[in-house]
A and B are shown apart, each in its own frame.
Chain A
Amino acid sequence: MVTLGQYLIVSGLLFTIGFAGVLLRRNIIIIFMSLELMLNAANLSLVAFSRFRLGVDGMPNYNAQVFVFFIITVAAAEVAVGLAIIVALYRARQTTHVEDINSLKF
Chain B
Amino acid sequence: MSPILFWLFAFVMLVFGAAVVINRNPIASALSLVVCFMGLSALFISLDAFFIGIIQVLVYAGAVMVLFLFIIMLLDLRVEERRKINLVAFVGGLAVAFALFVQICFVVDQLGAAKQAFPSLRAAKMDDVHNVGLLLFTNYNLPFQIIGVLVLVATIGVVVLSKRELR
User: Are these two chains actual partners, yes or no?
Assistant: yes
Name the interface residues of B27-54: CB closer than 8 Å to any CB of A: 29-30, 33, 36-37, 40, 43-44, 47-49, 51-52
Q: Mark A92-103, 1 if CB is under 8 A from B, else 0.
A: 100011010000
- Total residues of chain A contacting the partner, CB 8 A: 74
**B20/A37 in contact, CB under 8 A:** yes
What B residues does A65 contact at CB under 8 A?
Answer: 49, 51-52, 132
- Among candidates A14, A30, A47, A86, residue contacting B17 with C-beta atoms closer than 8 Å: A14
Q: Mark A61-94, 1 if CB is under 8 A from B, else 0.
A: 0110110111011111111110111111011100
**B121/A58 in contact, CB under 8 A:** yes
> Which label, helix, strand, loop or mixed, suits the secondary structure of the B interface?
helix
What B residues does A90 contact at CB under 8 A?
Answer: 75
The bracket for how many chain B residues form the interface is 35 or more
Provided the pairs A3-B116, A18-B17, A76-B59 are in contact, do residues A33 and B30 lie with their beta carbons within 8 angstroms?
Answer: yes
Q: Mark B1-36, 1 if CB is under 8 A from A, else 0.
A: 101001000100110011011000010011001001
Chain A contacts to B: CB under 8 angstroms? 1-10, 12-21, 23-27, 29-30, 32-34, 36-37, 40, 43-44, 47-48, 50-52, 54, 57-60, 62-63, 65-66, 68-70, 72-81, 83-88, 90-92, 96-97, 99
Q: A36-B33, A40-B40, A58-B121 are in contact. List 12 more A-B contacts (CB 8 A).
A: A1-B117, A2-B3, A5-B114, A8-B114, A19-B97, A33-B29, A47-B47, A47-B49, A63-B139, A80-B155, A87-B71, A87-B162
Q: What are 8 pairs between A and B in contact, CB < 8 Å?
A: A5-B114, A10-B43, A12-B101, A13-B14, A33-B68, A58-B123, A72-B52, A76-B59
